[in-house]
Structure 1
């Protein structure tokens, strides 16, 4: 274990719960618009719409709302949702848009210890205002010497951050739950990585990391203290 390294943390589903809340909304949506026999087909349709909308519009609750409305429209032969249907979508979204932050167990104490050993940064993607609200509400933002909110996480994102902050790739680690956004592109940019899986990671963030022996794989967030 070496001190004085740079640890870059993902936020959603690494530091606090996120996608499980979206999944609860999706469950309610599917209960509303689909029969049990058609549920899987409707979910596949929604996943495809989410993938297209996130690529074109970005991430966050507003894009998710659009995806639900688009899915409903597709299910009804491209009919525009009625005011009552729009109201129902807003009702489903209420627990998501009005929620607080639920930290993943062990995050607060682990960060407090790591902040005394290393240089901590936060890197999250999504809507700027929405992500900043979550960072502020988390009450752990004081542990980070920099908070960076980006539209997308690509290898170029990590290269640019490394160059702008003059980070040493050999002493810089990206820590997150998403193979697609946190691990694979950070490795491509020459950073070291820590993968902490989350059972509710968004399906669109899945990716096959293959036999990536260079990535440290942990089961829980507090295990970071054994290595850093």
Structure 2
């Protein structure tokens, strides 16, 4: 059996653009609140609220929208008008309407690797939103299995590896988040390929693995086949 038989891929900011739309919404949020607050740390307070609320709302636009409302009330001492709250909620809903923009080399890489490996999608967030984006991307046909999970930790990867692969020792996880895609997959016994994205959310930042033979880093998915070949050779 080849060393790596299954490739698991993240979706947001690995296969298609995602974070850039949240950044646009953050700017819209700041513009709406400008007449009511001069808080210099408005964005930091919003991100703190989003992070704090992950345990209640999970990842995705719904929790982000509710966190914007919570932050707007906090920074204005509840003086923000109802009309502005309505516009903030509308800005959150707009996150569901942005077009899906696949990243460079995605179709090329998936088409090539589908011929030699089993491909599975492992993404986290709101099920409705992730299913919508996958359908709009036109990429679903590449994947033998699709897992939409609430969070990504070693236990999640262990379950997915057991369900869809010959085991972690034959599986590589590919993604843009060190915290969610790389480190927990390695901890679960798999391989990992890191594909950095310029706009990765600060929550997903972590230190890269050091002296880890099951880890590789690439600039874009066009280099994925070469990275997997490298991991196959490394011992």
The alpha-carbon distance between structure 1 residues 38 and 191, as it changes in their structure 2 partners (threshold 3 A), is farther
Q: Is the 2:69–2:89 contact (alpha carbons within 8 Å) kept by the matching residues of 1?
A: no
Question: Which has the higher mean CA deviation after the structures are superposed, 151-160 or 213-222?
Answer: 213-222
Taking only aligned residues, the RMSD between alpha carbons, in angstroms, comes to 2.0
Written as runs of structure 1 = structure 2, the 5 A alignment for 1:1-228 is: 5-34=5-34, 40-77=40-77, 79=78, 81-93=80-92, 95-214=94-213, 215-228=215-228
SS at match of 1:227: helix
Count of matched residue positions in the alignment of Structure 1 and Structure 2: 225
Tell me the CA shift for residue 25 of structure 1: 0.7
Structure 2 length normalisation: TM-score?
A: 0.88
Deviation at 1:91, TM superposition (A): 4.0
TM-score, normalised on structure 1?
0.91
Whether the 8 Å CA contact 1:13–1:19 is kept in 2: the answer is yes
User: Could you give the per-residue CA deviations for residues 78-130 of structure 1, whole angstroms, max 9, x where no partner exists?
Assistant: x2753301222134335422122110011012111111111100000011111
| Structure 1 Cα separation of the partners of residues 211 and 135 of structure 2 | 34
Instruction: Quote how far apart the aligned CAs of 1:225 are.
Output: 2.5
Residues 145-167 of structure 1: per-residue CA shift (max 9 Å, x gap): 00011111010001111222352
SS at match of 1:209: coil
Unaligned runs of 5+ in 1: none
Question: Which runs of structure 1 show a deviation greater than 4 angstroms over 4 or more consecutive aligned residues?
Answer: 37-40
Describe the shift of the 1:212–1:64 C-alpha distance in structure 2 as closer, same or farther (beyond 3 A).
Answer: farther
CA contact (8 A) 1:115 1:143 kept: yes
Runs (5+) with no aligned partner, structure 2:
229-235
Q: After superposition, what is the alpha-carbon deviation per residue over 1:149-204, rounded to whole angstroms, capped at 9, x for unaligned?
A: 11110100011112223522222000000011001111110110000000111111
Deviation for aligned residue 1:44: 1.3
- Relative to structure 1, the CA distance from residue 94 to residue 159 in structure 2 (aligned partners, 3 Å threshold; closer, same or farther) is closer
Contact 1:4–1:117, Cα closer than 8 Å, also in 2: no
Contact persistence 1:34–1:42 (CA under 8 A): no
